[in-house]
Amino acid sequence: MNIIVQKFGGTSVATPEARGQVIQKILKAKKEGKSPVVVVSAMGRVPSPYATDTLLQFVKDEAGEIKDREYDLLLSCGEIISAVTIATMLQAAGYDAVALTGGQSGIITDGVHKSADLLYGKSDALVGYVEKDIIPVVAGFQGMTVEGEITTLGRGGSDTTAAMLGGLVGAESIEIYTDVDGIMTADPRVSECASIIPAITYNEIFQMADSGAKVIHPRAVEYAMRANIPLIIKNTFSDEPGTAIVQSVKKSYPSQTVKLITGVAHRLNRIQFKITEKLDADCDLLECMAKEHISIDLINIFPEYNVFTIDGEDKNKLEAILKKDGYEYTMVEDCCKVTVIGERMTGVPGVMSRIMKALNKEGIQVLQTADSLTTIGCLIRSEQVSRAVTALLLEFNI
């Protein structure tokens, strides 16, 4: 049936002009012999009247705090409005279309409101509509429990909906439409040298997201990876090919030059702590941090001292623990972790040397490092992030 899933984000359905572009993308797929299953987000962002946060603020202003069940019921409304609007526009253009809630599309979740997980999916309804040449338009970000309660899927929920449904119906690809031309080698707001990545692996996307890049939500990538379906990030407002997220770039795009480094991500608001008193053998400090839900980022443990970084939001909680237990420490605030990502660097000597030389050439002091098979992270001062990212992009020609 050549099914493809097309997901359109909030900016893609925010205005009449944008919604017109959405209709054109859907009909283009139809004319190419594809059978589209459409997923939509709520319209726009605050102060748009049907944006998720607008609906939430309205009820809070009227009645105060909202219980979790009613929270999910309310937040599902924005996407339902979008689904009905797009389905009706397709009907007006002469095509059969049907608007569906997440539950009606076959997404059955657990009962955890605000951040539900998929229990199982039912493909009968969607496949039935596609076989009848009816375009299903599904409200993203939501599902339904076995008991019929509406749930929402948490952050990145509409992307997750698209990936879930793609696996459910055996789609040949999942297209995620947004307002950018694809995933870039770095944040373009930080470096003008950033460029579009034609294709990237699932694993590299996980690493970029974990390192601070604003890319597709990891849960959506996980569902697509399980089903081995390409995720393609595209722009609603252009005809650029976008970025394909695949299992293997070399196999899927043999003509594409696969570079040593794929991208550079950064995460701001890091604080580096140096504990000058040795940690006890039973790791009391680390245990206390875990109980307070303080996540450690970079960490290096030495006989004489220990160094690690945390999110700046956790500064007060950690200082309270350190002072209470009498630890001696120093800290460096306003830091940034810059991470170089690339699957091909595994086992290649000299990558760290090139990173250090590129940063040293710009007079950027590296305060701490950490590495894995596919990443190398460097802690620097936040005010140097733009120069650091640009230097690394140029060093590795990305």
6: nearest Cα among 21, 17, 16: 21
Q: How confident is the model over 384-393, as pLDDT tens digits?
A: 999 999 999 9
pLDDT at residue 218 in the model: 87
Please say whether the beta carbons of 10 and 43 come within 8 A: yes
CA dist 53 and 392 (Å) reads 37
pLDDT of residue 117: 93
- Give pLDDT, residue 299: 93
Residues 6+ apart with CB under 8 A from 393: 185, 186, 191, 193, 194, 264
Q: Is 9 annotated as a binding residue?
A: yes
- The answer to whether 179 is annotated as binding is yes
240 annotated to bind ligand: no
- Summarize pLDDT for 72-91 with one digit per residue, the tens: 999 999 999 999 999 999 99
| Helices and strands per DSSP (H, E), number in the chain | 13, 18
Burial of 304 (0-12, 13-18, 19+ CB in 10 A): exposed
Cα Dmax for the chain = 74
Question: First vs last Cα of the chain: how many Å apart?
Answer: 38
- Decide if 103 contacts 148 (C-beta within 8 A): yes
52 is in an annotated binding site: yes
For the chain, domain boundaries: 3-179, 263-395
DSSP code, position 33: T
CATH code matching the domain that covers 3-179, chosen among 3.40.1160.10, 3.40.50.2300, 3.40.50.720, 3.20.20.70: 3.40.1160.10
Give the tokens for residue 19: 């919604």
Question: Domain 263-395 adopts which CATH fold?
Answer: VC0802-like (3.30.2130)
Residue 170 is assigned to a ligand binding site: no
> Does residue 263 have a known ligand-binding role?
no
Q: Per the annotation, does 10 bind a ligand? A: yes
Which residues of the chain fall below pLDDT 50? 281
Q: Confirm or deny that 157 is annotated as ligand binding.
A: no
Instruction: Report, in angstroms and rounded to the nearest whole number, the Rg of the chain calculated over CA atoms.
Output: 23
| 178 annotated as a binding-site residue | yes
User: pLDDT tens digit string along 330-377?
Assistant: 999 999 999 999 999 988 999 999 999 999 999 999 999 999 999 999
8 is in an annotated binding site: yes
Residue 79 among known ligand-binding residues: yes
- This prediction has a pTM of 0.89
Q: What is residue 281's predicted lDDT score, i.e. its pLDDT?
A: 46
Token representation of residue 274: 């140096």
